[in-house]
Chain A
Amino acid sequence: MIAKSMYKNGAILCAFALATTGSVAVVQSLTETRIAEQEKAQLMSLLSQVIPSERYDNQLYLDCVESDAPELGPAGPHIIYRARLNGEPAALLVRHITPKGYSGNIDILTAVTKRGEITGVRVTRHEETPGLGDKVELSRSDWITTFNGMQINGANDGRFAVKKDGGEFDQFTGATITPRAVTGSVGEAAWYATTHFDALFAKDNLCAGETQ
C-alpha cells in the first residue's frame, strides 16, 4: 500500500517538477536575447561614461583582457577593457575592487591613458551608508569627477588620498572611510595600468567571441 502511494506521489511530484522547470525554460529562452541586450547596453553606457568618445574608436566591450594583479583588489580576475584610436592603444578601462570600504567591497571602473592620465572614474557597486558614503555615486554628488584629468605619478602618489591624509580629495562630513578607500584603490589601479600598459595590450583579446 505504502509503496503504491509513494510511486503515485513521486510521479506527481516529478510531473510538477517537469512542468514548472519547463515553463521557466520557455520564459528564459524568450527573454534571453532581450536580457543580453540590456546588459550590453548597460555595459556600453557605463564604459562610455569614463572615456570621452573622441579618445577611442573601437567597440570597447569587444576588446578586453583579465588580470589577477593584487593592485586591483581581491576576488580576481578583474576585467580590463582596451580602448584604441586608429588601431593604436589609447587607454585601459580597469574594473577593480577595494575591500576597504565601510561595508563590503566597492566596485570601481577607472579609465587610464598611456601617459597615466585618468579620464574618468565611476563606482559601479557599493553598500556604503546612504546619505554619507554613497556620495561616491555620480547620482548623489559630483565628487567622483575630481579624478577627471588627474595624472598618476608613482606607486604611492600622495595626491590620491583624502585631504585629511594629505591628498587632494574632499572627505565627506561623517564619512572618511569610503572616499579614502576609493581614492587609494583608484591610485593603485591607475599606476598598475600605466606601468603594465604595453603588456596588457600585448595579451590575447578575451571578449572578441561575444559578437553582436
Chain B
Amino acid sequence: MSEYKTLIKDGMWANNPAIVQLLGLCPLLAVTSTITNAMGLGIATLLVLVGSNVTVSLVRNFVPKDIRIPVFVMIIAAFVTIVQLLMNAYTFGLYQALGIFIPLIVTNCAIIGRAEAYASKNTPLLSAFDGIMMGLGFMVVLVLLGAMRELIGQGTLFDGANLLLGDWATVLRIEVFQFDNQFLVAILPPGAFLGLGLLIAAKNVIDAQIKAKAQPTQEAEKAPRARVTSLT
C-alpha cells in the first residue's frame, strides 16, 4: 500500500509534473486562459498519460533497451491521435478552442518522462495509478492557473463550460465581477508565467513551513529525479 501512497504524494505534491518538474510548460502556459480550456487539456493529458503508462508497462519486457525511446514515442503518438479524434467527435467546440495544443500533448515531456522513469520499470497496475496521479497533479495546476487567470482577466469562472460538459453546464458560469475592459496581462501569456511563478512560490513557502515544523531528519534521496524548483 505504501507504494500507492508514495505515488499519490509524488504526483500531487512532491514531484508534481507542472510545479516541481516544470514539464509540459508549453500547453500549461498557453491554454490556461479559462478553467474550461485548462480542464479539457488536463483530461486529455490524463487519458494519454494513463494509456501510455499502461501500454509501456505491458510491453516493458519485450522492448530492447536500445529502441525503447522510439517505441515509447510511437505509443504516445498513437494515444494522442486517438484522444484527438475522440475529442473531435464528441467535444467539438472544445476541440476547436484547444486547437493545436491537443496534438502538442505528444511533446509534453511529462508523458515520456513517466514512461521512461516509471512505467518501463513497474507493473501495469502501479503504472496506471502513477499515470492517474501525475495526470491529476498536472490537471490541478492547470485548473488553478486557469481559475486565477480567468478571474483576474475577465471576472468569470467556468466561462464556456458547456463546450466541455454539454449544454446543461452553461449554468455553471459565474460572473464574479464586471469590467468594461478586461485585464489583459492575465489573459495573455505573461499572466501565465506570473501565475505559475506565484503557484511555485506558494508551494515552496508551504514546503518550508512544513520543514520548519518537523524535526530536521535529513534523508538521502533514493533515486535521482527530475526536480527543477525544489532543489535540496
Residues of A bordering B, CB below 8 Å: 5, 8-9, 12-13, 16-17, 20-21, 23-24, 27-28, 31, 34-35, 38-39, 42, 129-132, 173-174
Contact = CB atoms under 8 A, between A and B. Distances in A.
Contact of A20 (B64, B67, B74, B187): B74
A173 B153 CA distance: 17
A130 B188 contact: yes
Contacts of A27: 81-82, 85-86
Nearest to B184: A131
A98 B231 CA distance: 50
A17 B67 CA distance: 12
Given A129-B184, A131-B187, A12 B67 contact: yes
Nearest to B188: A130
A31 B67 contact: no
Nearest to A28: B85
Contacts of A21: 78
Contact of B78 (A23, A35, A173): A23
A44 B150 CA distance: 31
A38 B182 contact: no
Nearest to B77: A20
A174 B181 CA distance: 10
A171 B47 CA distance: 44
Interface residues of B, number: 29
Contact of B184 (A8, A24, A34, A132): A132
Interface of B: 33, 59, 62-64, 66-67, 70-71, 74-75, 77-78, 81-82, 85-86, 88-90, 92, 153-154, 181-184, 187-188
A150 to B, nearest CB: 27
22 contacts: A5-B66, A8-B64, A12-B62, A12-B64, A13-B67, A13-B70, A16-B74, A20-B75, A21-B78, A23-B82, A24-B81, A27-B81, A27-B86, A31-B88, A34-B90, A35-B85, A38-B89, A42-B92, A130-B187, A131-B153, A131-B181, A174-B181
A9 B184 contact: no
Contacts of A35: 85, 88-89
B89 A31 contact: yes
Nearest to B33: A130
Nearest to A26: B82
A42 B163 CA distance: 13
Contacts of A28: 85
B181 A173 contact: yes
B101 to A, nearest CB: 14
B181 A38 contact: no
- Cβ-closest 8 pairs across A and B: A131-B182, A20-B78, A31-B89, A34-B89, A38-B92, A20-B74, A27-B82, A130-B187
B86 A31 contact: yes
A132 B183 CA distance: 10
B86 A12 contact: no
Nearest to B78: A20
Contacts of B74: 16-17, 20
A12 B71 contact: yes
A112 to B, nearest CB: 26
A32 to B, nearest CB: 9
A25 to B, nearest CB: 10
Nearest to B63: A12
Contacts of B62: 12
Contacts of B89: 31, 34-35, 38
A130 B182 contact: yes
A27 B184 CA distance: 40
Contacts of B64: 5, 8-9, 12
Given A17-B74, A23-B82, A31-B89, 19 more contacts: A5-B64, A5-B66, A8-B64, A9-B66, A12-B64, A16-B59, A16-B75, A20-B74, A20-B75, A21-B78, A27-B82, A31-B86, A34-B89, A39-B92, A130-B153, A130-B184, A130-B187, A131-B153, A131-B181
Contacts of A5: 64, 66
Nearest to B183: A131
